[in-house]
Amino acid sequence: MFKKSVYAIGAVLFTIISNSSAKAQQTDQSKGLKDYYSTYFPVGVAVSPRSLKDSKQAALIISQFNSITPENAMKMGPIHPAENRYNWRDADAIVAFAQANGIKVRGHNLCWHEQTPSWLFMGEDGKQVSKEVLLQRLKTHIDTVVGRYKGKIYAWDVVNEAIDDDSTKFLRNSLWYKICGEDFIFKAFEYAHAADPNAVLFYNDYNTERPEKRERIYKLLKRLINAKIPVQGVGLQAHWSLSEPSEKDLEATIKKFASLGLKIQITELDMSVYPWEKNRRDKLPGESDAFSAEKEQQQAKQYAMVFKVFRKHKDVITGVTFWNIADNYSWLDNYPVKGRKNYPLLFDQNLQPKKAYREVVKF
Ligand code: GLA
C-alpha cells in the first residue's frame, strides 16, 4: 500500500516536473511579443495590405504585435504617383486594420531618395525644378499625407537615409540635396510638425552602429537640434546580421543619440543570416542558402543579445519594429542577392516561433 502510493506520488511528481520543463522549452501560446514586452516598449511589424488580407498572417500580427508600419504603402512613390493624384487605398487599409484592432501606426516615410515618383523633381518643361518648387511640393505632400492621418499615426519617419554611404562624405548627394542643399531635411521636419504637432518625428537611417556612420548621424542631429528643428527621435533601422552589431557598438549608439535628449526606436529590425552587403549581385555558383543549425543557433544568440540591450535601455527606447512578419517573405529574399533565400525574422516559413523567438521572450 505504502509502496504503491509512493509510486503514485512519484508518478504525479514526474508528470508535473516533466510537463513544466517541456513548457519551459516551449512558449506560452497565450502571450505575444507585445505581452512579454508590455512594460518595455511596443513591438511592431512592417506590413503590406496583402499580408493583412491573409487570415493566418493577420491573426499572427494581432496576437504578437501592437504597432504596425506600412512596408511600402506610405512611401512617396506609391502614395503620390502624380502631382495631383494620391493613391490612398493601401495606406487607408493598413490604418483601418490598425484602428479596428487597437494597434498603433508608425508612418514611413515622408522624404527619401529612393522610391520617389519621377514627376517630383521635374517641371512641365522636362527640366529639373528649382529649390522653391521642390520645397513647395514637399510641403504639399507632407501636409496632405500627414494631415490625412492626423491623430491616427503616432510617429513618422520624416527623413530617411540622408547620410552618404561614403564615410569621407557627409550628406548623400541625392537630387534632394543637389537641388535644396541640407535645407530639405530641416524643412521636412518643420512641415511635418506643422501638419501634426502631436506626431513624434524621427530621423531614420541604417548602419547606425558603425562608429563612422554614428558620428555623421550625430553631427546631423546636432545641427537640427541647434537650429531648433522639431525632431524628437532617431530610428535605428537595424537591418543587422549574425555578427553585426557588437554589443559594444549597439550600446555606444544608443548612449550617444540619447545624450542629445532624443528617443530611440528600432524601426526595421531583421537579422540576415549572411554578412551585410549593399550592391545587387547574382548568386554565386555553389553559394548555399540553407538555414543550418549553426546559423539558427547564432541567430538566436544575436537576437538574445540585442533584446537584452533594448530592455536595459527601456527608458529611451520607445518602440521596436520588425521588418516583415515571418521567414515566408522578407525583402532580403532577393536583396541584394537575386534568388537567395534569407531567414531573418522570429517566425519561420510556417509562421511558427523560431529558436530566436524563445530567446527574445526568455527574461
Ligand atoms: C530601407 C527603407 C525601408 C525599406 C528597406 C527595404 O531600410 O527605409 O523602407 O525599403 O530599405 O525593405
CB atoms within 10 A of CB 186: 18
DSSP string, 23-43: HHHS--TT--HHHHTTTT--E
Q: What is the pLDDT of residue 27?
A: 65
Nearest CA to ligand 1 atom 3: 71
- Taking the alpha carbons of 237, 363, 355, 291 in that order, is the dihedral positive or negative? positive
- Ligand 1: atom nearest CA of 109 is 9
Nearest-angstrom CA–CA distance, 285 and 87:
42
Atom of ligand 1 nearest to the CA of 112: 8
Give the architecture-level CATH label for domain 33-360: Alpha-Beta Barrel (3.20)
Active-site residues, by number, are 268
Q: Ligand 1 center to residue 30 CA distance, Å?
A: 31
Strands (E) across the chain are located at: 43-47, 67-70, 104-111, 155-160, 200-205, 233-236, 239-241, 263-272, 281-282, 317-322, 337-338
Q: Are 90 and 73 in contact (CB under 8 A)?
A: yes
Angle between helices 183-195 and 131-148 (to 10 degrees): 30
Burial label, 257 (beta-carbon count in 10 A; 0-12, 13-18, 19+): buried
Q: What is the pLDDT along the chain (363 residues), one digit of tens a residue?
A: 444 444 444 444 444 444 444 444 456 778 999 999 999 999 999 999 999 999 999 999 999 999 999 999 999 999 999 999 999 999 999 999 999 999 999 999 999 999 999 999 999 999 999 999 999 999 999 999 999 999 999 999 999 999 999 999 999 999 999 999 999 999 999 999 999 999 999 999 999 999 999 999 999 999 999 999 999 999 999 999 999 999 999 999 999 999 999 999 999 999 999 999 989 999 999 999 999 999 999 999 999 999 999 999 999 999 999 999 999 999 999 999 999 999 999 999 999 999 999 999 999
- Pair 265, 233: CB distance under 8 Å: yes
In sequence order, what are the beta bridge partners of 321? 44
Residue 26 has what pLDDT?
Answer: 58
Answering whether pTM is above 0.85, one says yes
Peptide bond into 285 cis (omega under 30): no
**Domains of the chain, residue spans:** 33-360
Residues whose CB falls within 8 Å of the CB of residue 173, separated by 6 or more in sequence, listed in order:
164
Q: Whose CA is nearest to atom 6 of ligand 1?
A: 331
Cβ of 51 less than 6 Å from ligand 1: no
- The residue written with cell numbers 512594460 in the block is 39
pLDDT at 24: 43
CA of 214 to the centre of ligand 1 (A): 19
